[in-house]
A and B are shown apart, each in its own frame.
Chain A
Amino acid sequence: MSTFGRPTKAEPGPLQVRGEVLAVRRSGDYHVLVFAAPGVAELTAPGNFVAIAVGGQPTAMLLRRCFSIHHVDTAGALGGTVEIVVDAHGPGTKWLVDRAQGDALDVIAPLGRPFSLPKDPVPCVLVGGGYGSAPLFMLADRLRERGCRVDLILGAATESRLFGVVDGRRRASSLTITTDDGSLGVRGRVTDVLDGILDQHGGQVIYGCGPMGMLAGLAKVAEQRGIVSQCAVEEAMACGVGVCMTCVLPVVGKDGVTRMTRSCTEGPVFFGDQVRWDAAGTVPADCLGAPVVEGGATSR
């Protein structure tokens, strides 16, 4: 089993900067938003996310919207650029993709704990569901710089909801595609092909980003094979910076105790075996401070 380098120093805090939209382009069902965000690129590691204020000021939309950082460029115009992939479906995301070049954006980044990289050059399998592939390309680059083989699996309901197929071909040693409807690649789910890819290339680490069900599946495969998985989760976040406690999920600590854990600060990347996937969305009875069932000794 591989060991991982965790950042040891206190990480430099996120920046709150005035960004500027450079481009919005379509990619399948998604939009790629490119913006200048001075100072952010240098601090960003794969798996970090941004929180962007939406709606302009004053607005009825109080809460920032969070997005995985897809790509950064330190040499870019205006002190560094950031790219995100936006699935426009609600009022906040629609507002974002309607921005024009030159529009201002209030950006906080980089946020959250990034993916940890293996210390040894072990083969890695990266799995992205829908726009969940967004952070995996930067990760693939970092892993390859360390000599890791990178096999990529992209899955989605249908072809237009895949992201990064062309990029994936260039940046990974192999690319496997699955769609639920068979419109591109293998008909089925990413978990249907995962074992085969792991067998074929000797993958030692699974990295995943996408819907909870998919992540739970990846974590299970990793557990069965005794290898490591790291999953970037997506929980509804009100603040994104660790002060509100809305973004929690049940996570087992090093001491074996389950706690409702913030995914914005302790996540969004968790080791697959830390998360109580079956209990996501609930408070498991053995969680620290869980309510005692009626009739118990105490009730608070």
Chain B
Amino acid sequence: MSNVVDMRAQLASAALPSPVLTASGCAAAGRELDRFFDVTAIGAVVTKSIMTAPRSGRATPRMAETPAGMLNSIGLQGPGVEEFIRKDLRWLRERGARTVVSIAGGSVSEFAELANRLRHEEGIAAIEVNISCPNVESRGQVFACDARAAGSVIHAVRRHTSALTPIFAKLSPDVTDIADIARACVTAGADGLSMINTTLGMVIDTDTMRPALAGITGGLSGPAIRPMAVRCVWQVRQALPDVPILGMGGIATGLDALQFLLAGANAVSVGTAVFNDPSAPWRIHNELAAALADRGFRSVADAVGYAHREEVPS
């Protein structure tokens, strides 16, 4: 028996040669990481969430290291969708990388406008909808924390996106029942779900005796949140057995990635680990291939959700 594992992954209609992707906001638009590994070899580059207009982001300090993780409060700094299309998307297309474009907005109409603007652009494998943004029309309530608000964003994006382009709703773990939000997004037309975004945290600098971040609170990421992320993937896979899941949160090794597949993710994103090791996505691809082979899996697909199987009495 050959121990070569079929590493292809499927995210709704998007066929990828690898189940390992970058994570939004942790890979810019792929160009910087291409100096460390071939970005066309991984599943896809997930780009930093883009908004309609240029955005400065927050003041510094924007980060604080925490045990096995970090807090960030970047504030969605970006050049706006026009420059993104002109420069970043073009580079990715010419480089031959598969691209998942992440979009973010402060209102349902901004999300719709973004989807519309991207609709006729070539080279987009999928759209990831970052609904972990404050809704400026609802006193800053985060879309992802309210099933109705999340649903209306997804509905609007779906309406303005070609049926050939899958859209993934990116869920926040900061909710009581993540399966509830997941269901609302799928009902509104999401083809798949990405999870998890960062979870809200805070660090106080004991020298200045003030919050360490200029933004006061920040998003916690890295291995510290991995068990929470695996739990979310598990719960959503149970609630929605057939919906494609892009899992992420603290993946730093092939075995970490394997946990996500076993819990029900069809593919994974590698975020914060890139800061420690810029070649992490490709390294994790190889480690995952070896880990799957060791366990006798012939393909990525065979491992997806495998931890949910019925206990066989021995």
Q: Which residues of A contact B (CB under 8 A)?
A: 13-14, 16, 53, 58, 60-64, 106, 108, 235-236, 238-249, 259-260, 265, 280-283, 287-291, 298-300
Contact = CB atoms under 8 A, between A and B. Distances in A.
A62 B56 contact: no
A136 B20 CA distance: 42
B222 interface: yes
B65 A61 contact: yes
B136 A300 contact: yes
5 contacts: A14-B35, A62-B65, A106-B277, A289-B55, A299-B136
Interface stretch (B24-32, B184-192, B240-248): B24-32
Interface in B47-70: 48, 51, 53-63, 65, 67-70
A186 B51 CA distance: 53
Interface hub of A63, A243, A287 (most chain B Cβ within 10 A): A243
Contact of B57 (A16, A63, A241, A260): A260
Contact of B61 (A236, A245, A265): A236
Interface stretch (B4-12, B231-239, B268-276): B268-276
Contacts of A58: 252
A259 B83 CA distance: 14
SS class of chain A's interface: helix, strand, loop or mixed? Answer: loop
Contact of A64 (B33, B53, B214, B276): B276
B36 interface: yes
Contacts of B130: none
Nearest to A250: B56
Given A53-B276, A244-B72, A298-B53, 13 more contacts: A62-B275, A63-B63, A63-B70, A243-B26, A243-B33, A243-B275, A244-B63, A246-B72, A248-B60, A248-B62, A260-B77, A283-B56, A289-B57
B223 interface: yes
A199 B144 CA distance: 62
A240 B274 CA distance: 11
Nearest to B33: A243
A62 B69 contact: yes
B276 A63 contact: yes
B275 A238 contact: yes
Contacts of A289: 53-57, 77-78, 80
Contact of A300 (B51, B61, B62, B214): B51
B67 A241 contact: no
A106 B277 CA distance: 9
Contacts of A238: 63, 70, 72, 275
A245 B78 CA distance: 9
B278 interface: yes
Contacts of B54: 288-289
